[in-house]
């Protein structure tokens, strides 16, 4: 199972806004991400709804509403990758209840998947967009 690319695109958008001179339009961001501006506008809208950025229509561009040190990666993830019922992993529907595996697979896996999601969320909660941008700047300097 893959997590959608919306999360990494969102971190790209926030990093670019932090590092480039305004105005940063969806066209300019799309060129950096190498995607369609419509994708950028959709994800930017989600970041705006989460109160991470402000977006001005036209060529006004986007700006950060919070310092990078206050934007956790978990906050970014939740802004753009809302999962059904808050659960990252989804069980396949209707396993055969007459099969010994089908009847018990969910119970056998459920706690492990809950722990895996909590671990991922903890890692993201402990990293900020400042960490991402600092890493980019370090790599640029090398």
pLDDT tens profile 23-35? 888 999 999 999 9
Contacts of 40 by beta carbon, 8 Å cutoff, 6+ apart = 9, 13, 26, 29, 30, 33
Distance (Å, rounded) from C-alpha 4 to C-alpha 108? 26
Distance (Å, rounded) from C-alpha 51 to C-alpha 39? 18
- Tens digits of residue pLDDT in 53-100: 999 877 778 999 999 999 999 999 999 986 655 677 878 888 899 999
Q: Are 115 and 56 in contact (CB under 8 A)?
A: no
Q: What pTM value is reported for the model?
A: 0.86
Domains of the chain: 6-141 (1.10.10.10)
Nearest-CA neighbor of 57 among 41, 80, 76? 41
- Tens digits of residue pLDDT in 87-106: 778 788 888 999 999 999 99
Distance (Å, rounded) from C-alpha 37 to C-alpha 13? 12
């Amino acid at each position: 199972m893959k997590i959608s690319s919306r999360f990494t695109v969102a971190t790209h958008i926030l990093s670019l806004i932090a590092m480039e001179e305004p105005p940063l339009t969806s066209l300019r961001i799309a060129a950096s991400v190498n995607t369609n501006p419509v994708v950028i506008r959709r994800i930017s809208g989600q970041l705006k709804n989460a109160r991470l950025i402000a977006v001005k229509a036209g060529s006004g561009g986007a700006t950060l509403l919070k310092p990078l040190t206050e934007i956790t990666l978990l906050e970014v993830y939740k802004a753009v990758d809302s999962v059904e019922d808050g659960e990252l992993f989804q069980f396949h529907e209707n396993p055969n209840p007459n099969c010994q595996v089908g009847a018990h697979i969910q119970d056998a896996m459920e706690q492990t998947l809950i722990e895996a999601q909590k671990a991922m969320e903890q890692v993201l909660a402990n990293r900020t967009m400042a960490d991402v941008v600092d890493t980019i700047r370090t790599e640029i300097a090398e």
